[in-house]
Protein backbone atom coordinates (compact mmCIF):
# COMPACT_ATOMS: atom_id res chain seq x y z
CA UNK A 1 0.00 0.00 0.00
CA UNK A 2 1.21 3.49 -0.78
CA UNK A 3 -0.92 5.18 1.82
CA UNK A 4 -2.22 4.16 5.21
CA UNK A 5 -4.85 6.89 5.49
CA UNK A 6 -8.44 5.75 5.65
CA UNK A 7 -10.66 6.43 2.65
CA UNK A 8 -14.42 6.13 2.43
CA UNK A 9 -16.31 4.72 -0.57
CA UNK A 10 -19.90 4.11 -1.51
CA UNK A 11 -20.78 0.84 -3.23
CA UNK A 12 -22.34 1.68 -6.61
CA UNK A 13 -22.58 -1.82 -8.05
CA UNK A 14 -26.28 -2.71 -7.94
CA UNK A 15 -25.76 -6.34 -6.88
CA UNK A 16 -23.35 -5.40 -4.09
CA UNK A 17 -19.77 -6.58 -3.66
CA UNK A 18 -18.67 -9.81 -2.00
CA UNK A 19 -15.94 -9.61 0.62
CA UNK A 20 -12.60 -11.18 -0.27
CA UNK A 21 -9.91 -12.56 2.00
CA UNK A 22 -7.12 -11.17 -0.22
CA UNK A 23 -6.79 -8.95 -3.32
CA UNK A 24 -8.05 -11.82 -5.46
CA UNK A 25 -11.54 -12.04 -6.96
CA UNK A 26 -11.58 -15.81 -6.43
CA UNK A 27 -10.88 -15.56 -2.67
CA UNK A 28 -14.54 -15.05 -1.73
CA UNK A 29 -15.84 -14.71 1.84
CA UNK A 30 -19.38 -15.00 3.21
CA UNK A 31 -19.91 -11.28 3.87
CA UNK A 32 -21.11 -8.71 1.37
CA UNK A 33 -21.13 -4.91 0.97
CA UNK A 34 -24.58 -3.93 -0.25
CA UNK A 35 -25.32 -1.35 -2.90
CA UNK A 36 -25.32 2.13 -1.33
CA UNK A 37 -23.33 0.98 1.71
CA UNK A 38 -20.46 3.18 2.91
CA UNK A 39 -17.21 1.27 3.48
CA UNK A 40 -13.90 2.50 4.84
CA UNK A 41 -10.36 1.25 4.39
CA UNK A 42 -6.98 1.76 2.77
CA UNK A 43 -6.64 1.71 -1.01
CA UNK A 44 -4.02 -0.69 -2.35
CA UNK A 45 -1.15 0.57 -4.46
CA UNK A 46 -2.75 -0.51 -7.73
CA UNK A 47 -5.96 1.34 -6.88
CA UNK A 48 -8.03 -1.82 -7.42
CA UNK A 49 -8.89 -2.82 -3.85
CA UNK A 50 -10.02 -1.31 -0.55
CA UNK A 51 -8.34 -3.02 2.41
CA UNK A 52 -10.81 -2.87 5.33
CA UNK A 53 -10.75 -4.03 8.94
CA UNK A 54 -10.33 -7.73 9.74
CA UNK A 55 -8.29 -8.16 6.53
CA UNK A 56 -11.35 -7.83 4.31
CA UNK A 57 -10.77 -6.70 0.73
CA UNK A 58 -13.46 -5.10 -1.43
CA UNK A 59 -12.87 -4.45 -5.15
CA UNK A 60 -12.99 -0.81 -6.21
CA UNK A 61 -12.92 -1.66 -9.92
CA UNK A 62 -13.66 -4.77 -11.92
CA UNK A 63 -10.95 -6.67 -13.80
CA UNK A 64 -11.95 -4.69 -16.90
CA UNK A 65 -11.65 -1.37 -15.07
CA UNK A 66 -15.37 -0.75 -14.52
CA UNK A 67 -16.13 1.38 -11.45
CA UNK A 68 -17.72 -0.59 -8.61
CA UNK A 69 -17.44 2.09 -5.90
CA UNK A 70 -17.07 5.85 -5.70
CA UNK A 71 -15.19 7.92 -3.10
CA UNK A 72 -17.31 9.89 -0.60
CA UNK A 73 -16.74 12.31 2.25
CA UNK A 74 -16.06 15.36 0.08
CA UNK A 75 -15.99 16.38 -3.56
CA UNK A 76 -15.40 13.16 -5.41
CA UNK A 77 -12.57 14.57 -7.50
CA UNK A 78 -10.89 17.07 -5.18
CA UNK A 79 -10.72 14.74 -2.17
CA UNK A 80 -8.19 12.59 -4.01
CA UNK A 81 -5.27 14.07 -5.83
CA UNK A 82 -5.02 11.76 -8.82
CA UNK A 83 -7.53 9.01 -8.19
CA UNK A 84 -10.44 8.07 -10.38
CA UNK A 85 -12.32 4.78 -10.44
CA UNK A 86 -12.76 4.82 -14.19
CA UNK A 87 -9.27 3.41 -14.67
CA UNK A 88 -7.72 6.49 -16.32
CA UNK A 89 -5.79 7.81 -13.31
CA UNK A 90 -3.63 6.36 -10.57
CA UNK A 91 -4.03 6.72 -6.82
CA UNK A 92 -2.14 9.00 -4.52
CA UNK A 93 -2.83 10.08 -0.93
CA UNK A 94 -6.16 11.71 -0.17
CA UNK A 95 -5.83 15.41 0.51
CA UNK A 96 -8.29 15.48 3.41
CA UNK A 97 -9.98 13.00 5.69
CA UNK A 98 -13.58 12.79 6.70
CA UNK A 99 -14.68 14.90 9.62
CA UNK A 100 -17.09 12.19 10.80
CA UNK A 101 -15.94 9.71 13.42
CA UNK A 102 -16.74 6.01 13.32
CA UNK A 103 -19.47 6.50 15.91
CA UNK A 104 -21.09 9.23 13.81
CA UNK A 105 -20.92 6.98 10.76
CA UNK A 106 -22.74 4.24 12.65
CA UNK A 107 -25.37 6.70 13.77
CA UNK A 108 -25.82 7.80 10.16
CA UNK A 109 -26.20 4.21 8.99
CA UNK A 110 -28.72 3.49 11.74
CA UNK A 111 -30.69 6.59 10.77
CA UNK A 112 -30.71 5.39 7.16
CA UNK A 113 -32.00 2.01 8.34
CA UNK A 114 -34.71 3.64 10.47
CA UNK A 115 -35.85 5.67 7.49
CA UNK A 116 -35.84 2.64 5.21
CA UNK A 117 -37.54 0.13 7.50
CA UNK A 118 -39.57 2.48 9.70
CA UNK A 119 -38.28 1.07 12.99
CA UNK A 120 -36.26 2.89 15.62
CA UNK A 121 -33.15 1.23 16.94
CA UNK A 122 -33.16 0.61 20.67
CA UNK A 123 -30.91 2.85 22.73
CA UNK A 124 -27.63 1.17 23.75
CA UNK A 125 -27.48 -0.23 27.27
CA UNK A 126 -24.19 -0.19 29.15
CA UNK A 127 -23.25 -3.67 30.34
CA UNK A 128 -20.70 -4.87 32.83
CA UNK A 129 -17.18 -4.73 31.48
CA UNK A 130 -17.81 -1.58 29.48
CA UNK A 131 -19.56 -3.24 26.54
CA UNK A 132 -22.91 -2.07 25.30
CA UNK A 133 -25.95 -3.67 23.78
CA UNK A 134 -29.06 -2.43 22.01
CA UNK A 135 -31.12 -4.78 24.19
CA UNK A 136 -32.69 -3.58 27.39
CA UNK A 137 -33.02 -4.99 30.89
CA UNK A 138 -31.76 -8.44 31.84
CA UNK A 139 -32.21 -9.66 28.29
CA UNK A 140 -29.32 -7.43 27.22
CA UNK A 141 -26.90 -9.73 29.03
CA UNK A 142 -28.11 -12.81 27.20
CA UNK A 143 -29.62 -11.84 23.82
CA UNK A 144 -29.29 -15.35 22.38
CA UNK A 145 -31.18 -16.84 25.30
CA UNK A 146 -34.09 -14.52 24.57
CA UNK A 147 -34.05 -14.80 20.79
CA UNK A 148 -37.50 -16.41 20.88
CA UNK A 149 -38.87 -13.15 22.33
CA UNK A 150 -37.64 -11.22 19.29
CA UNK A 151 -39.08 -13.93 17.05
CA UNK A 152 -42.47 -13.60 18.76
CA UNK A 153 -42.41 -9.84 18.23
CA UNK A 154 -41.56 -10.34 14.57
CA UNK A 155 -44.43 -12.79 14.09
CA UNK A 156 -46.84 -10.37 15.80
CA UNK A 157 -45.76 -7.59 13.44
CA UNK A 158 -46.05 -10.01 10.52
CA UNK A 159 -49.62 -10.84 11.51
CA UNK A 160 -50.45 -7.14 11.93
CA UNK A 161 -49.14 -6.53 8.42
CA UNK A 162 -51.34 -9.30 7.03
CA UNK A 163 -54.37 -7.78 8.73
CA UNK A 164 -53.55 -4.34 7.29
CA UNK A 165 -53.58 -5.94 3.83
CA UNK A 166 -57.05 -7.35 4.47
CA UNK A 167 -56.38 -10.83 5.82
CA UNK A 168 -59.18 -11.92 8.16
CA UNK A 169 -58.32 -15.49 9.15
CA UNK A 170 -54.81 -15.09 10.56
CA UNK A 171 -55.94 -16.85 13.74
CA UNK A 172 -56.27 -20.03 11.67
CA UNK A 173 -52.67 -19.89 10.42
CA UNK A 174 -50.72 -22.62 12.29
CA UNK A 175 -47.48 -20.66 11.94
CA UNK A 176 -49.00 -17.69 13.79
CA UNK A 177 -51.21 -19.51 16.30
CA UNK A 178 -51.11 -23.06 17.63
CA UNK A 179 -54.10 -25.00 16.33
CA UNK A 180 -55.14 -27.35 19.16
CA UNK A 181 -56.35 -30.84 18.28
CA UNK A 182 -58.68 -32.79 20.55
CA UNK A 183 -59.70 -36.24 19.30
CA UNK A 184 -62.38 -37.55 21.66
CA UNK A 185 -61.94 -41.05 20.32
CA UNK A 186 -58.30 -41.01 21.44
CA UNK A 187 -57.12 -39.59 24.76
CA UNK A 188 -60.49 -38.62 26.18
CA UNK A 189 -62.19 -41.68 24.76
CA UNK A 190 -60.02 -43.79 27.02
CA UNK A 191 -56.97 -45.71 25.84
CA UNK A 192 -56.27 -49.16 27.20
CA UNK A 193 -55.00 -48.94 30.76
CA UNK A 194 -51.47 -50.09 29.89
CA UNK A 195 -51.08 -47.45 27.17
CA UNK A 196 -49.99 -44.82 29.68
CA UNK A 197 -47.54 -47.00 31.56
CA UNK A 198 -43.86 -46.48 30.88
CA UNK A 199 -42.74 -50.00 31.93
CA UNK A 200 -41.53 -50.91 28.45
CA UNK A 201 -38.04 -51.96 27.40
CA UNK A 202 -36.64 -48.44 27.23
CA UNK A 203 -36.15 -45.66 29.74
CA UNK A 204 -38.31 -46.95 32.62
CA UNK A 205 -37.16 -47.45 36.18
CA UNK A 206 -38.18 -51.10 35.99
CA UNK A 207 -36.10 -51.78 32.90
CA UNK A 208 -33.08 -50.02 34.41
CA UNK A 209 -33.42 -52.08 37.59
CA UNK A 210 -33.51 -55.28 35.54
CA UNK A 211 -30.35 -54.22 33.75
CA UNK A 212 -28.57 -53.57 37.06
CA UNK A 213 -29.58 -57.01 38.38
CA UNK A 214 -28.23 -58.89 35.36
CA UNK A 215 -24.91 -60.72 36.01
CA UNK A 216 -21.92 -59.05 34.49
CA UNK A 217 -19.83 -60.88 31.93
CA UNK A 218 -16.42 -61.49 33.48
CA UNK A 219 -14.99 -62.13 30.01
CA UNK A 220 -15.80 -58.62 28.81
CA UNK A 221 -12.93 -57.50 26.61
CA UNK A 222 -10.71 -54.67 27.85
CA UNK A 223 -10.04 -53.32 24.39
CA UNK A 224 -12.33 -51.56 21.92
CA UNK A 225 -13.30 -52.68 18.47
CA UNK A 226 -14.30 -49.88 16.12
CA UNK A 227 -15.63 -50.18 12.62
CA UNK A 228 -14.87 -47.29 10.29
CA UNK A 229 -15.52 -47.50 6.56
CA UNK A 230 -15.73 -51.29 6.83
CA UNK A 231 -12.34 -51.75 8.53
CA UNK A 232 -12.06 -53.22 12.05
CA UNK A 233 -9.66 -51.43 14.38
CA UNK A 234 -8.66 -52.47 17.92
CA UNK A 235 -8.08 -49.81 20.60
CA UNK A 236 -6.62 -50.23 24.08
CA UNK A 237 -9.73 -49.15 25.98
CA UNK A 238 -13.05 -50.65 27.02
CA UNK A 239 -16.07 -50.75 24.73
CA UNK A 240 -16.90 -50.85 21.05
CA UNK A 241 -17.59 -48.11 18.54
CA UNK A 242 -18.96 -47.77 15.04
CA UNK A 243 -18.64 -44.83 12.66
CA UNK A 244 -22.14 -43.90 11.48
CA UNK A 245 -21.74 -40.54 9.76
CA UNK A 246 -19.39 -37.67 9.05
CA UNK A 247 -22.03 -35.41 10.68
CA UNK A 248 -22.91 -35.03 14.35
CA UNK A 249 -25.00 -37.66 16.14
CA UNK A 250 -27.87 -35.74 17.76
CA UNK A 251 -30.06 -38.37 19.44
CA UNK A 252 -30.18 -42.07 20.36
CA UNK A 253 -32.62 -44.73 21.56
CA UNK A 254 -31.93 -48.30 22.69
CA UNK A 255 -34.38 -51.21 22.40
CA UNK A 256 -33.32 -54.76 23.28
CA UNK A 257 -30.22 -55.50 21.18
CA UNK A 258 -30.65 -52.57 18.78
CA UNK A 259 -29.68 -48.91 19.05
CA UNK A 260 -30.96 -46.21 16.69
CA UNK A 261 -29.00 -42.98 16.26
CA UNK A 262 -30.25 -39.83 14.54
CA UNK A 263 -27.80 -37.57 12.77
CA UNK A 264 -27.37 -34.16 11.22
CA UNK A 265 -27.13 -35.95 7.85
CA UNK A 266 -30.98 -36.34 7.97
CA UNK A 267 -30.86 -40.13 8.51
CA UNK A 268 -31.17 -42.64 11.34
CA UNK A 269 -28.93 -45.68 11.61
CA UNK A 270 -30.05 -48.87 13.35
CA UNK A 271 -27.10 -50.76 14.81
CA UNK A 272 -26.88 -54.29 16.20
CA UNK A 273 -25.16 -53.85 19.58
CA UNK A 274 -23.50 -57.27 19.64
CA UNK A 275 -21.81 -56.99 16.25
CA UNK A 276 -21.71 -53.17 16.05
CA UNK A 277 -22.90 -53.38 12.45
CA UNK A 278 -25.46 -51.14 10.80
CA UNK A 279 -28.64 -53.15 10.20
CA UNK A 280 -30.78 -50.47 8.53
CA UNK A 281 -30.58 -46.90 7.39
CA UNK A 282 -33.88 -45.18 8.06
CA UNK A 283 -33.85 -42.78 5.14
CA UNK A 284 -34.75 -42.88 1.47
CA UNK A 285 -35.25 -40.22 -1.16
CA UNK A 286 -38.99 -40.58 -0.77
CA UNK A 287 -39.27 -41.39 2.92
CA UNK A 288 -37.76 -39.79 6.00
CA UNK A 289 -36.53 -36.47 7.26
CA UNK A 290 -35.33 -33.56 5.15
CA UNK A 291 -33.37 -31.89 7.96
CA UNK A 292 -31.47 -32.78 11.13
CA UNK A 293 -32.90 -35.68 13.13
CA UNK A 294 -33.14 -34.22 16.64
CA UNK A 295 -35.11 -36.80 18.65
CA UNK A 296 -35.84 -40.52 18.58
CA UNK A 297 -37.60 -43.12 20.75
CA UNK A 298 -38.73 -46.76 20.55
CA UNK A 299 -42.18 -48.11 21.16
CA UNK A 300 -42.44 -51.29 23.24
CA UNK A 301 -42.92 -53.37 20.06
CA UNK A 302 -39.71 -52.06 18.50
CA UNK A 303 -41.08 -49.40 16.17
CA UNK A 304 -39.11 -46.16 15.92
CA UNK A 305 -40.56 -42.67 16.37
CA UNK A 306 -38.24 -39.87 15.23
CA UNK A 307 -38.50 -36.09 15.08
CA UNK A 308 -36.48 -33.54 13.18
CA UNK A 309 -35.73 -29.91 12.50
CA UNK A 310 -38.09 -30.24 9.53
CA UNK A 311 -41.07 -30.07 11.99
CA UNK A 312 -41.90 -33.67 11.09
CA UNK A 313 -42.29 -36.89 13.04
CA UNK A 314 -41.69 -40.22 11.33
CA UNK A 315 -43.00 -43.59 12.52
CA UNK A 316 -40.78 -46.40 11.25
CA UNK A 317 -41.58 -50.15 11.30
CA UNK A 318 -39.71 -52.44 13.71
CA UNK A 319 -37.98 -54.13 10.79
CA UNK A 320 -37.95 -54.46 7.04
CA UNK A 321 -37.93 -51.69 4.46
CA UNK A 322 -37.30 -48.16 5.76
CA UNK A 323 -40.67 -46.69 4.83
CA UNK A 324 -42.04 -44.28 7.42
CA UNK A 325 -45.47 -42.85 8.15
CA UNK A 326 -45.15 -39.04 8.46
CA UNK A 327 -46.96 -37.43 11.40
CA UNK A 328 -47.61 -33.76 10.65
CA UNK A 329 -48.84 -31.05 12.99
CA UNK A 330 -45.88 -29.22 14.51
CA UNK A 331 -44.74 -25.94 12.96
CA UNK A 332 -41.34 -25.84 14.68
CA UNK A 333 -38.35 -28.12 15.18
CA UNK A 334 -38.96 -31.20 17.29
CA UNK A 335 -37.01 -31.11 20.58
CA UNK A 336 -37.98 -34.46 22.15
CA UNK A 337 -40.14 -37.55 21.55
CA UNK A 338 -41.24 -40.41 23.81
CA UNK A 339 -43.33 -43.46 22.98
CA UNK A 340 -45.21 -46.30 24.65
CA UNK A 341 -47.38 -49.10 23.22
CA UNK A 342 -49.71 -47.00 21.13
CA UNK A 343 -49.01 -43.44 22.24
CA UNK A 344 -46.31 -41.04 21.15
CA UNK A 345 -45.66 -37.60 22.66
CA UNK A 346 -43.56 -34.86 21.07
CA UNK A 347 -42.40 -31.38 22.11
CA UNK A 348 -41.42 -28.60 19.76
CA UNK A 349 -40.04 -25.13 19.34
CA UNK A 350 -43.56 -24.12 18.29
CA UNK A 351 -44.32 -24.07 22.10
CA UNK A 352 -46.67 -27.05 22.00
CA UNK A 353 -46.68 -30.71 22.95
CA UNK A 354 -48.68 -33.15 20.85
CA UNK A 355 -50.06 -36.57 21.72
CA UNK A 356 -50.21 -39.07 18.88
CA UNK A 357 -52.27 -42.24 18.47
CA UNK A 358 -49.73 -44.59 16.92
CA UNK A 359 -52.48 -47.03 15.93
CA UNK A 360 -54.46 -44.61 13.77
CA UNK A 361 -51.32 -42.53 12.96
CA UNK A 362 -53.18 -39.36 13.93
CA UNK A 363 -52.76 -36.55 16.40
CA UNK A 364 -55.03 -36.98 19.42
CA UNK A 365 -54.45 -33.82 21.45
CA UNK A 366 -52.40 -30.63 21.65
CA UNK A 367 -51.02 -29.37 24.96
CA UNK A 368 -50.89 -25.56 24.82
CA UNK A 369 -49.61 -23.37 27.63
CA UNK A 370 -45.94 -22.55 27.13
CA UNK A 371 -44.88 -19.08 25.99
CA UNK A 372 -41.38 -20.13 24.83
CA UNK A 373 -39.94 -23.02 22.82
CA UNK A 374 -40.20 -26.31 24.71
CA UNK A 375 -36.80 -27.93 25.12
CA UNK A 376 -37.60 -31.14 26.99
CA UNK A 377 -40.22 -33.12 28.91
CA UNK A 378 -40.53 -36.22 31.07
CA UNK A 379 -43.50 -38.58 30.97
CA UNK A 380 -44.50 -41.02 33.72
CA UNK A 381 -47.83 -42.87 33.43
CA UNK A 382 -50.54 -40.20 33.08
CA UNK A 383 -48.36 -37.31 34.30
CA UNK A 384 -45.96 -35.21 32.21
CA UNK A 385 -43.71 -32.24 33.02
CA UNK A 386 -42.37 -30.03 30.23
CA UNK A 387 -39.79 -27.21 30.37
CA UNK A 388 -39.07 -24.30 28.04
CA UNK A 389 -36.45 -21.67 27.19
CA UNK A 390 -37.93 -19.10 29.56
CA UNK A 391 -37.38 -21.34 32.60
CA UNK A 392 -41.05 -22.26 33.00
CA UNK A 393 -42.24 -25.82 33.59
CA UNK A 394 -45.79 -27.16 33.40
CA UNK A 395 -47.33 -30.30 34.92
CA UNK A 396 -49.87 -31.96 32.60
CA UNK A 397 -52.46 -34.71 32.81
CA UNK A 398 -51.80 -36.78 29.70
CA UNK A 399 -55.07 -38.69 29.88
CA UNK A 400 -57.25 -35.55 29.83
CA UNK A 401 -54.72 -33.40 27.93
CA UNK A 402 -55.16 -30.65 30.53
CA UNK A 403 -52.70 -28.45 32.38
CA UNK A 404 -52.53 -29.25 36.10
CA UNK A 405 -50.19 -26.53 37.37
CA UNK A 406 -47.30 -24.24 36.37
CA UNK A 407 -43.97 -25.00 38.05
CA UNK A 408 -41.79 -21.92 38.58
CA UNK A 409 -38.36 -21.37 40.06
CA UNK A 410 -35.86 -21.70 37.22
CA UNK A 411 -34.17 -18.55 35.90
CA UNK A 412 -32.80 -19.98 32.66
CA UNK A 413 -33.38 -22.69 30.08
CA UNK A 414 -34.82 -25.97 31.33
CA UNK A 415 -32.81 -28.57 29.46
CA UNK A 416 -33.35 -31.75 31.51
CA UNK A 417 -36.26 -33.27 33.45
CA UNK A 418 -36.35 -36.70 35.08
CA UNK A 419 -39.11 -38.54 36.91
CA UNK A 420 -38.35 -39.57 40.49
CA UNK A 421 -40.37 -42.75 41.04
CA UNK A 422 -39.31 -43.06 44.69
CA UNK A 423 -40.89 -39.72 45.53
CA UNK A 424 -43.61 -39.82 42.90
CA UNK A 425 -42.39 -36.55 41.42
CA UNK A 426 -40.07 -34.98 38.87
CA UNK A 427 -36.63 -33.38 39.07
Tell me how far apart the alpha carbons of residues 398 and 305 are, in angstroms, rounded to a whole number.
18
Contact 17, 69 (CB under 8 A): yes
Paired residues of 52 in beta bridges: 56
Tell me how far apart the alpha carbons of residues 398 and 395 are, in angstroms, rounded to a whole number.
9
pLDDT number for residue 286:
87
pLDDT number for residue 373:
92
pLDDT number for residue 173:
83
Q: How far is CA 235 from CA 238, 245, 335, in A?
A: 8, 20, 34
| CATH class of the structural domain 7-102 | mainly beta
Phi/psi at 379 (5° precision): -120, 125
- CATH number for the domain whose boundaries are 249-426: 2.130.10.10
Residue ranges for the chain with pLDDT beneath 70? 1-4, 73-106, 109-110, 112-145, 182-239, 421-425
* Residues 325-355: tens digit of each pLDDT: 999 999 999 999 999 888 999 999 999 999 9
pLDDT number for residue 233:
53
pLDDT number for residue 151:
80
How many other C-beta atoms lie within 10 A of the C-beta of residue 397? 14
Q: What is the CA radius of gyration of the chain?
A: 29
C-alpha count within 13 angstroms, C-beta hemisphere, residue 211: 13
pLDDT number for residue 144:
61
Strand order across the 313-316 sheet: 293-298, 304-308, 313-316, 325-327
* Residues 117-166: tens digit of each pLDDT: 655 555 444 444 444 444 444 444 455 667 777 888 888 888 888 888 88
Residue 204's Cα: distance from chain center in Å?
29
pLDDT number for residue 205:
43
Tell me how far apart the alpha carbons of residues 173 and 156 are, in angstroms, rounded to a whole number.
12
pLDDT number for residue 381:
84
pLDDT number for residue 87:
40
Tell me how far apart the alpha carbons of residues 294 and 291 are, in angstroms, rounded to a whole number.
9
pLDDT number for residue 307:
95
pLDDT number for residue 134:
46
pLDDT number for residue 65:
84
Number of H helices and E strands in the chain, helices first, is: 3, 30
> Residue ranges per domain, the chain?
7-102, 249-426
Amino acid sequence: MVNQQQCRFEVTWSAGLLHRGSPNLDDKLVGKAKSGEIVEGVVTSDGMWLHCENDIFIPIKSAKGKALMKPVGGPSSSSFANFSVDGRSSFSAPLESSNKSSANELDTLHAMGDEKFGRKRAAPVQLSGGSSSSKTGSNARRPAAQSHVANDQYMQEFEAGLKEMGATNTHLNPHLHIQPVRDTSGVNGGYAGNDFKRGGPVGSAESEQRMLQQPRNSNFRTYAQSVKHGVDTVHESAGKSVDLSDRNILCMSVCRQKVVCGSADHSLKEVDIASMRVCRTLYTQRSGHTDWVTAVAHTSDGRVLSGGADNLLCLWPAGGAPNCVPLKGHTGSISRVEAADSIGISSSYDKSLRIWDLRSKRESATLVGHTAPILTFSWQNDRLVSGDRSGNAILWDVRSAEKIAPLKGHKGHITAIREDASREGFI
